[in-house]
Amino acid sequence: MITSLHDTTTLNNGVTMPWLGIGVFKVDNGPELVNAVKFAIKHGYRSVDTAAIYENEEAVGQAIRESGVPREELFVTSKVWNSDLGYTSTITAFETSLKKLGLDYLDLYLIHWPVEGKYKEAWRALETLYQEGKVRAIGVSNFHIHHLEDLMKDANINPMVNQVEYHPRLTQKALQAFCGEHGIQLEAWSPLIQGQLLDSSILQEIADRYHKTIPQIIVRWDLQNGVVTIPKSTKEHRIVENANVFDFELTKEDMQRIDELNRDNRVGPDPDHIDF
């Protein structure tokens, strides 16, 4: 039972990762972001998800420094972008991210997308960074089962996390089962479908019964499914709302009704068909 924002899952290397964090995609590298991350930390969040391609690592770093919470109590994730996939280029990209964040280590570093022919060399770089102690855990993002199988064929270290699009319209059951079997923690991006499920009458009916909001129902559904999640908001009241999910539990029946909203629909690209 997950009971607070400080609760963690234990990754396959023993490192603990908060179940709930804040995402910062599409937020400019400026005061709005600094404030959002500071609000989040003030209200108990301990995990922040950024990426090199978001071009906002400096503001995330500034917020961390100004938060007053010791670095070791926070969990910071960043990701290597597609154009930097390669052994040396990934190491360099990691050092650039660290510098922008103003940190001397990351908690989690991910390969952002499974670019064919490139992700294995990048993975070797992540293994090196991990072995050198520069990052506490390494993982991937947007990997289908076949990408994971291919990666693990040659890997010395299996990924600890796979961060993928995951929400009630894309429940990823097969991928979740595969990750479970291989000790890979699944993490949900765009958990709120970037706002698109907020008018679902089924979710509204469930939310009303629990005296909760639709975002809270979705976040709770993620957690009860054993999926780490990182809803994004820059607004203090929503940052608080999205984390106010520890005082209720969805019944099995309601969990199933939410599962049944699955349509295998994506808001983002299919990792098998990326052209960036």
List of residues contacting ligand NDP (CB under 6 A): 23-25, 49, 112, 141-142, 163, 189-195, 198, 215, 230-235, 238, 241-242, 268
Q: How far is the CB of 260 from ligand NDP (least distance, A)?
A: 20
Q: Are 154 and 175 in contact (CB under 8 A)?
A: no
Choice between 37 and 192, CB closer to ligand NDP: 192
Min dist. Cβ of residue 60 to ligand NDP (A): 10
Query: Measuring CA to CA, which residue among 117, 128, 142 is closest to residue 51?
Result: 142
Distance separating alpha carbons of residues 188 and 135, to the nearest angstrom: 21
Closer of 81 and 130 to ligand NDP (Cβ): 81
User: Edge to edge, what strands does the sheet with 75-80 contain?
Assistant: 22-23, 47-49, 75-80, 106-111, 135-141, 161-165, 185-189, 228-229
Nearer to ligand NDP, 132 or 247 (CB): 247
Select 133 or 272, whichever has its Cβ closest to ligand NDP: 272
Q: What angle do CA 245, 247, 251 make, to 5 degrees?
A: 85
Task: Give start and end residues of each alpha helix (H) in 7-156.
Answer: 31-42, 57-67, 87-101, 119-131, 145-154
Residue 169 Cβ vs ligand NDP, minimum distance, rounded to whole Å = 11
CA distance 201 to 214: 10
Rounded least distance, CB 242 to ligand NDP, Å:
5
**And the tokens for 164?**
């993928």
Which residue of this chain has its Cβ atom nearest to ligand NDP in the complex?
23
Residue 166 a catalytic site member: no
Catalytic residue selected from 45, 54, 109, 166:
54
Catalytic site positions: 54
